[in-house]
């Protein structure tokens, strides 16, 4: 397999079964207990900002973006990012992240956040969110909360609990 055989496309509903299979393979059943998964349960992801990598007509990797809010700040939550084991360490995941960040900037998003490893995401423009600035609906390692600012100062507006943007006002007094 050559990287020339890999094509990158916007995600469509037809990709959903293969994406679910990749995420199951990458993260196992424990993925349902993760904080980011809990947030994603609050509403749909943004298909127009989500991408797949294909090889021979098969999805081999994907990245999704979900609209979130915390305090007065709005962001996109990147993830899950998953690559089939046979295609890891070839730059496919990094290319998908770069595509998602470019689409986020084009769409006017202020910043992108994620729960991930700084050594991997740092070279892609992510840095740590100050400890305690935001919280997640389930426990996370606060050193793994990262941000990629598109609009300077956007991360500072993210404060408190992160939730799906569709959940704003849900369950709150009128």
**Domains of the chain, first to last:** 3-167 (3.40.630.30)
H helical segments located in the chain:
16-27, 35-40, 92-106, 118-121
Token pair, residue 83, equals: 């690559």
Nearest to 159 by CA among 139, 137, 130, 138: 130
Pairing, β 73-83 against β 6-10: unpaired
Per-10-residue mean pLDDT, the chain, length 174: 84 95 80 79 94 95 96 94 93 96 97 95 96 93 95 96 84 40
- Calpha distance 127→105 (Å, rounded): 17
The pLDDT of residue 149 is 97
The pLDDT of residue 32 is 67
The pLDDT of residue 30 is 67
Token pair, residue 107, equals: 């769409």
User: Which residues neighbour 25 within 8 Å (Cβ) at sequence distance 6 or greater?
Assistant: 82, 84, 85
Q: For the whole model, what pTM was predicted?
A: 0.91
């Amino acid at each position: 397999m050559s990287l020339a055989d890999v094509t990158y496309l916007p995600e469509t509903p037809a990709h959903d079964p293969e994406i679910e299979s990749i995420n199951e393979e990458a993260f196992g059943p424990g993925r349902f207990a993760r904080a980011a998964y809990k947030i994603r349960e609050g509403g749909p992801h943004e298909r127009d900002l989500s991408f797949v990598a294909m090889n021979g007509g098969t999805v081999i990797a994907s990245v999704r973006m979900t609209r979130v809010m915390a305090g007065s700040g709005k962001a996109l939550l990147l993830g899950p990012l998953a690559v089939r084991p046979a295609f890891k360490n070839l730059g496919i995941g990094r290319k998908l992240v770069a595509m998602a960040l470019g689409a986020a900037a084009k769409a006017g998003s202020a910043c992108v956040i994620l729960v991930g490893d700084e050594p991997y995401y740092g070279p892609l423009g992510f840095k740590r969110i100050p400890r305690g600035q935001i919280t997640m609906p389930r426990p996370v390692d606060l050193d793994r909360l990262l941000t990629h600012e598109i609009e300077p100062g956007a991360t500072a507006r993210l404060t408190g609990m992160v939730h799906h943007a569709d959940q704003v006002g849900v369950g709150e007094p009128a």
